[in-house]
Amino acid sequence: MRVGVIGGGQLARMMIPAAIELGVELRVLAEAEGMSAALAADRVGDYTDAETVLAFARDVDVVTFDHEHVPQDVLRLLVDEGIPVHPGPDALRFAQDKLLMRERLSELGLPVPDWARVTTTGELDDFIADHGGSAVVKTPRGGYDGKGVRVVRSAAEVAEWFATVAEDGRGGALLARRRHPDCCRVSATLASRTGDNSMNSPFTDCPVSSLNSTRARSKGSSSCSISPLGMDQAPLSLFFQKGPPG
């Protein structure tokens, strides 16, 4: 089995020991020389260039990713060429755009913090005023590892972000969500077999219960279907806030 990873960052590097243990041949398309996953990088190229990515993908059995920034048209080309891509473009579009993800999760009735699409400083200041005087603001695309995320008490603190997104051709909006200062977070990564959207959660009450979940036989876990998101892998986070139940 030859697995091709687009992107040579830390996640690709962390795949190397597991691939060796499983007898999987890992190949990496790195963005530049000297990337974290240089040990497995068999070529360097531009992941936004369709021909570069296609040439790489033709030499492997399945393609996956170190990051979510590969353009949708490049992802669709791989699928059209019959190359297995996991996660596919329908799932990655939610990872690429936080507003799309919030909209989809809300449509599915999943529990998410209060949030809003804000396009002006006035809208953001109104949201802040309605949610205790502060909010978490995120750029919809491109943010990671704390980049593109700020806790603010005034829209003036992200005025330059409004100017930037106004020119991106995607509606000029930022994501604002309620801040939960007194909570802790528990996270897990779930995965399923190809073609089977059921996956076991380590949590007793799976937060994706509205996606046709059922309690598993084993205590302390549940089985969840995430097919409405087009995913066969999913990060799952639960936030617990201090205070009495309910």
Instruction: CATH number of the domain at 37, please.
Output: 3.40.50.20
Q: In this structure, are 22 and 69 located in the same domain?
A: yes
**Element containing residue 105 per DSSP (H, E):** helix 98-107
pLDDT at 232: 57
d(CA 150, CA 158): 8
For the chain, the straight-line distance linking the first and the last C-alpha, in angstroms and rounded, comes to 49
Asked whether residue 41 is assigned to any structural domain, the reply reads yes
In a shared domain, residues 208 and 191: yes
Partnered with residue 194 across adjacent β-strands are: none
Clarify whether residues 38 and 68 are in a common domain: yes
- Does residue 105 belong to any structural domain of this protein? no
In-domain check, residue 26: yes
DSSP string, 136-190: EEE-SSS--TTTTEEEESSGGGGHHHHHHHTTSSS-S-EEEEE---SEEEEEEEE
| CA distance linking residue 90 with residue 39, whole number of Å | 30
Answer whether residue 106 is part of any domain: no
- Assess whether 7 and 81 both reside in one domain: yes
| Shared domain check, 133 and 170 | yes
Instruction: Say which CATH number the domain at 121 has.
Output: 3.30.1490.20
Eight-class DSSP state of 85 = B
Q: What does the pLDDT profile of the chain (246 residues) look like in tens digits? A: 999 999 999 989 999 999 999 999 999 999 999 999 998 998 999 999 999 999 999 999 999 999 888 999 999 999 999 999 998 998 888 888 999 999 998 998 888 889 999 999 999 999 999 999 999 999 998 776 678 899 999 999 999 999 888 777 667 899 999 987 666 666 665 565 555 555 554 544 444 443 443 333 333 344 444 455 555 555 566 665 565 544
Do 171 and 192 belong together in one domain? no
Domain C-terminal end among 178, 204, 227: 178
Q: What is the 8-class DSSP label of residue 199?
A: E
The residue among 163, 178, 193 that closes a domain is 178
Q: Does residue 207 share a domain with residue 158? A: no
Looking at the domain assignment, is residue 96 inside a domain?
Answer: no
202 and 174 in one domain? Answer: no
Q: Do both 8 and 43 map to the same domain?
A: yes
Threshold 0.85, pTM exceeds: no
What does the alpha-carbon distance between residue 5 and residue 161 come to, in Å, rounded to a whole number?
A: 31
Q: What is the pLDDT of residue 123?
A: 97
Residue 92 domain-assigned? no
In this structure, the answer to whether residues 201 and 168 fall within a common structural domain is no
The domain tally of the chain equals 3
Give me the pLDDT at residue 206, please: 45
Looking at residue 176, its pLDDT comes to 96
- Residue count of the chain, please give it: 246
196 and 170: one domain? Answer: no
Residue 27, domain extent: 2-85
* Three-state DSSP state, 231: coil
Query: Within a domain: residue 103?
Result: no
Determine, yes or no, domain membership for 153: yes
CA 79 – CA 103 distance, rounded (Å): 25
CB atoms within 10 A of CB 185: 9
What's the one-letter identity of residue 48?
A: T
Is residue 174 domain-shared with residue 209, that is, in the same domain?
no
Of 141, 157, 178, the residue that ends a domain is 178
